[in-house]
Amino acid sequence: MATLPVTIPVNREFSLRERIADHLALMRKFKRILEDVERPGRHAHKFPRPPPGVSGQENEGKWRVQCLLMSAEVRYSLYLQTLERWIASYGLKSPKDKWPLPPWDVAIIFYAHLLSPFNFQSDIESNFQNLWKAEIEFPLARMRSINSDKGSERAWMKEYPNIAYQAVEFTLAGDHAYITTENVMDIHGYKCGSKHCLKKGAYVIQMTEWSKYRVGRAKLTCPGCKTTFTNRAFEPQTLLEFSRAAFGFPIFNLWDSPQRQFGKQGFVDRILALTQAQGQMPDHVFRYLKFLQLMKESKSILVPTLDIDLLWHTHQLSPVAYDKYCKTHVGRRINHVDTIRTTKRSTGLDDTARLWATWYGESYFDPENTAKATEIERRKATCKQKREDMEAKLAAYDYNHQYLKKELDEVSDRIATKRASIRDAHVAASALGATVARVEAAKKSVKPSLRLFELRYYSQTQKQQLRKLEDKRRPLVEDYIHKRREAETLEDEGRDLWRELERHNRKWKEAQKERRLLEQRLAAEVALATEAIGQFNVDGLDRRDDQHQQQYQEDRYDGSWYSVVPSEVQPCMYPIIDTANDGRAKVRTWADTYNPTRSYAGYSGGGGGGGCGGGGGGCGGGGCGGGGCGGS
């Protein structure tokens, strides 16, 4: 099979080394924020107190991260609203280097939202249309270059003078992050819908109360009138409806999304470890283009390696450009899904390795290994030979059994001829019968001149008429009887032919069944040869022929640029609230066959925004179980 030509062009959104460097620097800042929030040292007193039952350094750290992200989830909508109003004042074409920057906690949610492109587009187009029209994107370079921006803070404070702009700030050296003030993570701007509070101002909801309401473990009580509201806000659509009524803007289901990217030994950790060890990232733009070309040619779920996924993430940080690029050059919208089941992701990984080796003649996970490339070409040749053998054997089988079809067709033709003869005989007999009936009716129409009891007297003319009619009827009756007997004889012959047809038909069906079994066996051999093209075991065993050859050793999870994130290393935590049972947080991994819609004590897990996703899901390298791709 010839090498697949790469026709998809390079684009600045994912190819500029400065942009990728900005992205890496941003990930380091986000990682620093989450780590310093988890272990805040002397700033621990500024965080909401853990609820009863949540104790121990690990769980308290998770609680603080959860508080930050749940607060940022609400503040993210405040930022989008601020940005939309700023654009309304300065125009859709206003320079992006003047746009207000997001606060650091909000930037983490913004970043995670962008990595679910279908959800992001649906959420923004449904709730902040002008942002999509203005081609919103993540301000990578600006966020990297500064730790705080006074102009952005003024734009925020103009809209929300009673809500702090930054919940998190960096030290002057930029090497540590800290919480700005106490209670900064409480939820501000809540307005009760009760008639008792209609004329009162906005309230502040403490994070300890909001977190339980947010995940459906408790009802929300208004701080002013003490009215209690439903605890169904953990359902994405209900959350949107509630937030519009209570805050005047939507809240998207995003607080848990960053944990899939920034979890220990996850995508971000592995990328940062690689860039720290190697100094800079190699040029993998062409591999990303080859990956996109595979998306264009195949409808399979494809799983990116770390190098490809980094460029893919970078591309998605310009969502409007990403959407246009995919529709123009891939032919459809491409989603990125990081909640794929482990088994489905594993299948997608095998498919990606096979397609990559088949189309590009190199190992997906070890592209610089020339020995593997040579082995792949040998396997491709073997696969091609098996396909040719399959075609030849099936052609030979068809040739050797064509007489059965010929005999079947001959009998079928004879039956068709016999049926026509039977039909003609019946038609002729029916016509003769009708003629006889008419003659007999004519005889009956001749009435006797005189009738005495049983005696009939006909005139001489009548007698002559009756004799003529009888002379006409007699040969007609003989012909009618002859045709009836001829039709019966033909029907007997037809029944014999039908039995002969059934015998030939059974032989033909048996031959066809035997051919299908042969085809299935040969197709299975071709499938095994095809699957083996890009498969190499981590212990050095060639999966195809079980030979011990060290040059074929392969590890898909070795932490190199050409590896992927193992599903089992990413714990997807249930929310840390009042753990009444044993005081410990509930933790499951994606290796436990995670179901994104499974509920635990009122919490509905799942990633991405509250908007609708689209197209086929996919699977990739980042996040719990990996990010992914799919087309609409």
Residue-by-residue DSSP string for 494-528: HHHHHHHHHHHHHHHHHHHHHHHHHHHHHHHHHHH
Residues of the chain where predicted confidence (pLDDT) is lower than 50: 233-234, 539-544, 546-550, 581-627, 632
H or E element at residue 427: helix 402-444
Answer whether 394's CB lies under 8 Å from 522's CB: yes
Q: Of 522, 627, 557, which is closest to residue 291 (Cα–Cα)?
A: 627
3-class SS of residue 170: strand
Q: What is the pLDDT of residue 578?
A: 66
Q: Is 620 helix (H, G, I), strand (E, B) or coil?
A: coil
Furthest-apart CA pair in the chain: how many Å? 144
List the beta bridge partners of residue 229.
220
Which residues, in sequence order, are bridge partners of residue 170? 177
Residue 180: predicted pLDDT: 86
Distance in angstroms (rounded) separating the CA atoms of residues 121 and 132: 8
Q: What is the Rg, in whole angstroms, of the alpha carbon atoms belonging to the chain?
A: 40
CA pair distance 580, 612, nearest whole angstrom: 34
The sign of the torsion formed by the CA atoms of 196, 198, 202, 205 equals positive
User: What pLDDT is stored for residue 473 in this prediction?
Assistant: 92
Q: Which residues contact 622 (CB under 8 A, 6 or more apart)?
A: 115, 260, 261, 266, 267, 268, 309, 313, 338, 565
Residue (of 27, 28, 47, 24) closest to 37 by Cα position? 47
pLDDT score, position 228: 75
Beta strand ranges found along 288-396 (DSSP E) = 334-335
How far is residue 40 from each of residues 44, 47, 407, 545, measured CA to CA in Å?
5, 9, 88, 55
Scan for tokens 């993210």, then name that residue.
76
Cβ-based neighbour number of residue 372 at 10 Å: 24
The secondary structure of 3-36 as a DSSP string is: PPP--PPP-HHHH-HHHHHHHHHHHHHHHHHHHH
In the structure encoding, which two tokens stand for residue 483, read together?
């045709």
Tally helices (H) and strands (E) across the chain: 19, 14
- Cα–Cα distance for residue pair 202/224, rounded to 1 Å: 9
pLDDT of residue 238: 65
Contact indicator for 382, 529 with CB cutoff of 8 Å: yes
